[in-house]
Amino acid sequence: MTLSRSGRVAGLAASLLMAAACSTSQVVPGSPEPAVPTPAGLEKFYNQALQWTGCDTFGGDQGSRFPVDSQCAHVTVPIDYAKPDGGTAQIAISRIKASGKKVGSLLFNPGGPGQAGLWMAAQGQDTPLSQRFDRIGFDPRGVGASVPAIACLTGQEWDAERAEPPKDGSPAGVASAEDENKQFAAHCAERTGDEFLEHVGTREVVQDMDVIRAVLGDQKLTYVGYSYGTRLGYSYAERFPDRVRAMVLDGAVDPDSDPVAESVQQAAGFQKAFDAYATDCATKPDCPLGPDPAQAVTRFHALLAPLWDHPVPTKDGRGLSFGDAVTGVQNTLYAEDNWNVLSAGLAQVANGSGDLLLKLADLYNGRRNDGSYDNSQDAFLAIHCVDDPAVKDRQAVDKQDAEYRKVAPFLDDGHGGDQAPLELCAFWPVPNSATPHKVSVPGLTRTVVISTTQDPATPYQAGVNLAQQLGAALITNKGTRHTVFLSGGVACVDNAVFDYLTDLREPPNGLTCG
């Protein structure tokens, strides 16, 4: 599958630091809002009572992140909101109650798409957020502990998929790649079911978010979304503009970017992150890419190219394939905190071992130690294909592939050809439910967008564009990382957002941090 994820990946060495505030007071909270009417026909969903319990049976892979005071529940929603008397789904949510005078609930989403988010109730521990809000995490429909689950490949099938070398650009390679994409799409339809598969996208998730808002007793939504979670945020604002209290969108997805351009822009972002890493690495005597940043791409290819035909041995016997090596490298480029891990992984490959990069690839792909997988990759691909129009124009796909290799030479495997395969979504069995467009939400309450100058996954300009379209306050963070609030140790950002979320005090115009 030739798609790349722009979800939020926490830094491997990230720490949470708090310091003095750098925001100013501009807006005074208004009086309590009138009750929001319940949509006709959906009363049983909006008025349901939740049964809170411990999270030990909900968390799965997230369980170790839950503090002892966390609670979990399932929220029932219709699979198809146009057929509320039809089948239902269960959305898993988590809660840690406010420790002080409560403002309301604060809903988090980590991105992806397809990332489980129950663990995010623990975000902002020992900050003003934990004092003033019930912090809420949720696994979007089809993901994690929510049921039914999106299911495409088994663990063994994913292992086999990852072990194969990528297909080359020969006619036979293109045909083989497209055949694999067709088989993957067929597995998703068979194992998930067409009806549910058609309703796993952003269109439905934002309506689920409104049900969550209602059953938690909030008249308006307070929300923090990262990466793809920004799409959930602005889509919620479009659908329910009168129900937004406060919204923070960090690492924005550009709503008006077509899929081809977005792919190329993301590749360029990762190249910038790689170049920044190479420059820093070159200052260290043991840099695996050598002392000259200008030769870093060449050295990188020399290290990884042999893996195409001969995976590097690993202790578990699977070996490090070329594809997994690239995935492991990209996983470290989401934040500069991880550069030392990248150097260690490349040094291992140079010494004939692939354990560290394989571990990083397993982390990205959701593989557990027992060989099973969470469904984050299945969900990412399914949601992406439902959300966005498929690119079926072969000339556009060929141009995309050529531009991708040009703007990101470190990701050019050297096996391109005159043609490129159609991606998975071209063979998807159900229609997409959204198209790129400019966002227009007249009268929307003031929101906040955070954009990082050298974000490898979501370009800085995407945040600028989204802020302009929403009429939002823009916080610029200087750095090389993907998303920053509560994870980047940038107190200037964190405290400005604390003031906004708790007291609706806007950041100063043009606030720049880092």
Which stretches of 333-375 are DSSP H helices? Answer: 339-350, 355-365
Segment holding 451, helix H or strand E:
strand 448-452
Quote the DSSP letter at residue 89.
E
Active site residue 227: yes
Q: How many CA atoms lie within 13 A of 438 on its CB side?
A: 8
CB 7 within 8 A of CB 228: yes
Q: Which of 6, 23, 94, 227 is catalytic?
A: 227
* 58-90 b/e (C-beta count within 10 Å ≥ 16 → b): bbbbbeebbeeebbbbbbebbbbbeebeeeebb
Planar angle of CA 382, 383, 386, nearest 5 degrees: 90
Among candidate residues 70, 482, 494, 499, the one labeled active-site is: 482
CA angle 174-4-173, nearest 5°? 10
Q: Is 198 helix (H, G, I), strand (E, B) or coil?
A: coil
Q: Rounded to 5 degrees, what are φ and ψ at 475?
A: -105, 125
Angle between helices 202-215 and 228-239 (to 10 degrees): 70
- Could you give the CA distance from residue 307 to residue 164 in angstroms, rounded to a whole number? 11
482 catalytic residue (yes or no): yes
DSSP 258: -
Tokens matching residue 439: 């966002």
User: By three-state DSSP, how is residue 180 classified?
Assistant: helix
Catalytic residue among 374, 455, 494, 499: 455
Q: Which residues are catalytic?
A: 227, 455, 482
